[in-house]
Amino acid sequence: MPKNDMKKILITGAVGQIGSELTLALRKKYGKENVIACGRKTKPSDGLLKSGPFEYIDITNRETVEQVVKEYDIDTIYNMAAILSATGEEKPLLCWNVNINGLYNIIEIAHEYNMTRVFVPSSIAVFGPETPRINTPQETILKPKTMYGVTKVAGELLGDYYFKKFGIDVRGLRYPGIISSETLPGGGTTDYAVNIFYEAIKNKKYTCFVKKDTILPMMYMPDCIKATMDIMEADISKLKHHCDFNISSMSFSAGELADEIKKHIPDFKCDYKPDFRQAIADSWPQSIDDTAAKNEWGWKPFYDLQSMTKDMLEKLGKRNKEGKL
Ligand code: SER
């Protein structure tokens, strides 16, 4: 029978794009000593280090995770460590090892230590060219053509299997591209939607690695954090899905994003030189139907293209003035 208390939280990938902001949000909610941030190699920022405990672990090495779980009496894991889609195409074996063998270690440890809950992120990368691309349904064809997508489909199935078979309360969301101002993403196909802001502010020009008319679903970080914390607190008796919730907030083309930035920085120039990531983007949906998330746990995003762009430019502009960009 799934338990309810989330008192001692371990977060893997805590130095990454989502992990770094999620850690601070979780510390605010659950107390700074109760959220153990973990990374593999990258040095954490001072802000992250000063805000609570930090440990080095490698999720592909089970013992390193178990040690921290025992030391801090962990009952909840957010497994944010992953290799993203573009790096995954360059290093498919590494992608499989981290995203599948690493995830397997995390879920097995959660089972063995009778944990309350595990969060396992999924992605729009679970879809592929055979999937309907507009308003992609919750239940649909999952035949991704990237190694990252393959690992994300398997991860959803593994989480659902452990829930059904062993009662381990694993939950997950299919994140769209995440746009954020604190930590840069690394190795993803949707990274252009973050890089464009930094370059617009620093150099007033950007060369985008997907075509101008490439439309993808995106989400601003505050909504991503809200969705992640909300699904983990949702009443389990209302959930029909567990590890595979579609979530949506905004969709736009690379050209529309550049135009929106131009409204604030009129001399900003964007040109387009598609590379291998274009094929990945073309295999993903343009927009997502998230009715199940709305109905089962009340999902509702706040930001749209206009409000996200304004906020990003304000935040990055301020950091640039302070010489910290
Ligand atoms: N943002 C991710 C990527 O581009 C998708 O989940 O790989």
- Per domain, the residue ranges of the chain are 9-177+220-246, 179-218+250-288+300-321
Are the C-beta atoms of 48 and 20 separated by less than 8 Å? yes
If we measure between CA atoms, which residue out of 197, 241, 194, 207 comes closest to residue 17? 194
198 tagged catalytic: no
Instruction: State the architecture of 179-218+250-288+300-321 in CATH terms.
Output: Alpha-Beta Complex (3.90)
CATH number of 9-177+220-246: 3.40.50.720
* Per-residue pLDDT band at 212 (split at 50, 70, 90): very high
Q: Is the pLDDT of residue 1 over 60?
A: no
Among protein residues, the one whose CA lies closest to atom 2 of ligand 1 = 188
State which ligand 1 atom lies nearest to the alpha carbon of 84. 7
Residue 5 has pLDDT above 90, yes or no: no
Q: Is the pLDDT of residue 66 over 70?
A: yes
Res. 3 pLDDT band, cuts 50 70 90: low
Residue 220: is its pLDDT beyond 60? yes
From ligand 1's centre to the CA of 251, what distance in Å?
A: 14
Which listed residue (78, 104, 113, 148) is catalytic? 148
- Which percentage of the chain shows pLDDT scores above 90? 98
Tell me the C-alpha distance between 48 and 87, whole Å. 25
* pTM metric for this prediction: 0.97
When the pLDDT of each residue in the chain is averaged and rounded to a whole number, the result is 97
In this model, does residue 2 exceed pLDDT 60?
A: no
If you compute the radius of gyration of the chain from its CA atoms, what whole number of angstroms results? Answer: 19
Answer whether 9-177+220-246 and 179-218+250-288+300-321 agree in fold.
no
Q: Does residue 247 contact residue 173 with C-beta atoms inside 8 Å? A: yes
Mean pLDDT across 8-37: 97
67 CA from centroid of ligand 1 (Å): 30
Looking at residue 24, what is its pLDDT? 97
The pLDDT of residue 4 is above 80: no
